[in-house]
């Protein structure tokens, strides 16, 4: 197992036109065309389109795969009951209250699958998001999954993920993320108890945020995104290989007798990719006031309204705090966006107690939130010197312009739901004195 980590190779660049072929078959990519009458090595040419054919070039996404057998060779799909996936946002009555699961919930010894916590919109209309939790301690043996509904942004919180895709292999560890885009088949190998978060986006792909007056460099730099290199296996599976499709919010399974990871070469700009969160170049206030959290945006999935995202992936990494005459923790806030918070490691600066790695919180549209009473009192009296903030911590936020609904599973199965979350603000007291400015 250990040697696997050292042979993995990647190509660098976000959204680049990449070219890759397995070195065991040099010259597997056709010269000068995509779909020759006969492909090298007797391969089949197959295009994977991530956008409409007629999208403008900056948003046109596609890759050509050269494979031993085309992906169409499978038996019919049949419904598969597994996990707790849903896009039914009417399972429970709306509730605007702040919601938190302060730490990861325990469970049975053997678990696998995706469990939907909250979301909005729906995949048939190609507009919306869902937030899932994944838990597993068994690898996907002779099984793979692809998402017909949208893109998966995967945030491991515990355990390594060795992800095999049609484009090659990626090792993704806590403090890294990966994106598996719509339609891409992948299988996951794990090495013990593994869990994390998934942001699913329907109808849009993730992009790097515009930098505006920041300039040409900063935040998540394009060259730090890594794409796997071609790797294939020519493996027959007499007992059957299960291909799972997530389609219109449901799972379906089809059988075939060969591995789907039979792509010998590929080229294009529609790929899976990963990113290490420590590579993020933090921008922060160096004079006064607390900057808006949008300066911590790693990736965004844009809506049709300028400047408004269907979903943003935002992180709160270790950084320096130097602002003078400033309340340095996050400010009290009511937001026209929905904010789902998670914690990969460490202690979140605005709530150091009671919010543990693997936990989550949801602050719905226009529901007030902010530092708890202890944080406010401490930060209001602190001596303002240059200090490291969030050292050893990585918190993140899925922010959306959609009004998110919590699922029945999210409320009932998350048996550690903190019903007393609101009490962390109750000790806040009035400091108002009309005679003292």
Its pTM stands at 0.94
- What pLDDT does residue 202 have? 95
- What pLDDT does residue 405 have? 94
Q: Is 333 annotated as a binding residue?
A: yes
- Of 35-44, 92-101, 208-217, 267-276, the one with minimum mean pLDDT is 92-101
- What pLDDT does residue 6 have? 45
pLDDT digits (tens, 9 = 90+) for 304-362: 999 999 999 999 999 999 999 999 988 999 999 999 999 999 987 766 666 789 989 99
Q: Is 431 annotated as a binding residue?
A: no
Q: Is 339 annotated as a binding residue?
A: yes
CA 108 vs. chain centroid, Å, equals 25
Does the pLDDT of residue 3 top 60, yes or no? no
- What pLDDT does residue 98 have? 86
Q: Is 173 annotated as a binding residue?
A: no
Query: Which has the closest alpha carbon to 5: 145, 185, 224, 161?
Result: 161
- What pLDDT does residue 109 have? 43
List b or e across 9-42, with b for residues whose CB sees 16 or more CB atoms inside 10 angstroms. Answer: ebbebbbbebebbbeebeebbbeeeeeeeebbee
Domain architecture of the chain: domains with CATH: 75-262+270-277 (2.60.120.10), 278-419 (2.60.120.10)
Does the pLDDT of residue 293 top 50, yes or no? yes
Query: Catalytic one among 74, 87, 290, 431?
Result: 290
Does the pLDDT of residue 173 top 80, yes or no? yes
Q: Is 84 a catalytic residue?
A: no
| Rounded distance between C-alpha atoms, residue 16 and residue 225, angstroms | 10
Q: How confident is the model at residue 416 (pLDDT cuts 50, 70, 90)?
A: low
Angle at 56 between CA 55 and CA 57, to 5 degrees: 115
- The rounded percent of the chain whose pLDDT value lies above 90 is 80
| Rounded distance between C-alpha atoms, residue 8 and residue 185, angstroms | 19
- Of 62-76, 108-122, 320-334, the one with minimum mean pLDDT is 108-122
| Rounded distance between C-alpha atoms, residue 200 and residue 133, angstroms | 11
Dihedral sign computed on CA atoms, order 416, 411, 124, 365:
negative
Question: What value does the mean pLDDT take over residues 235-244?
Answer: 95
């Amino acid at each position: 197992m250990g040697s696997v980590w050292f042979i993995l190779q990647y190509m660098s660049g976000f959204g680049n036109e990449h070219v890759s072929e397995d070195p065991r078959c040099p010259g597997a990519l056709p010269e000068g065309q995509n779909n020759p009458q006969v492909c090298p090595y007797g391969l089949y040419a197959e295009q994977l389109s991530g956008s409409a054919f007629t999208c403008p070039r900056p948003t046109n996404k596609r890759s050509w795969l050269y494979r031993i057998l085309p992906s169409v060779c499978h038996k019919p799909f049949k419904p598969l009951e597994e996990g707790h996936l849903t896009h039914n946002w009417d399972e429970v009555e709306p509730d605007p209250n702040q919601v938190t699961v302060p730490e990861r919930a325990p469970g049975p010894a053997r678990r696998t699958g995706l469990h939907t916590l909250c979301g909005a919109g729906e995949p048939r209309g190609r507009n919306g998001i869902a937030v899932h939790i994944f838990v597993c301690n068994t690898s996907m043996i002779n099984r793979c999954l692809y998402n017909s509904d949208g893109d998966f942004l995967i945030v491991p919180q515990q355990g390594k993920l060795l992800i095999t895709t049609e484009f090659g292999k990626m090792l993704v560890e806590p403090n890294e993320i990966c994106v598996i885009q719509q339609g891409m088949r992948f299988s996951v190998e794990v090495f013990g108890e593994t869990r994390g978060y998934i942001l699913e986006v329907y109808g849009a792909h993730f992009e790097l945020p515009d930098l505006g007056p920041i300039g040409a460099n900063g935040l998540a730099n394009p060259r730090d995104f890594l794409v796997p290199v071609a790797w294939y296996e020519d493996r027959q599976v007499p007992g059957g290989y299960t291909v799972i499709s997530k389609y219109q919010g449901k799972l379906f399974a089809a059988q075939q007798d060969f591995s789907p990871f039979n792509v010998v070469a590929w080229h294009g700009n529609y790929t899976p990719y990963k990113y290490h969160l420590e590579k993020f170049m933090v921008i922060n206030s160096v004079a006064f006031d607390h900057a808006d959290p949008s300066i911590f945006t790693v990736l965004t999935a844009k809506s049709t309204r300028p400047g408004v995202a269907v979903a943003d992936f935002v992180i709160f990494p270790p950084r320096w705090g130097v602002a003078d005459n400033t309340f340095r923790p996050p400010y009290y806030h009511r937001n026209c966006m929905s904010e789902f918070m998670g914690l990969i490691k460490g202690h979140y600066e605005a709530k150091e107690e009671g919010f543990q790695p693997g936990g989550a919180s949801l602050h719905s549209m226009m529901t007030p939130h902010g530092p708890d009473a202890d944080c406010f009192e401490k930060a209001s009296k602190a001596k303002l010197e240059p200090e490291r903030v969030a050292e050893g911590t990585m918190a993140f936020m899925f922010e959306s312009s959609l009004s998110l609904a919590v699922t029945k599973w999210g409320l009932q199965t998350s048996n550690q739901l903190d019903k007393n979350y609101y009490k962390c603000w109750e000790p806040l007291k009035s400091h108002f004195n009309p005679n003292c400015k």
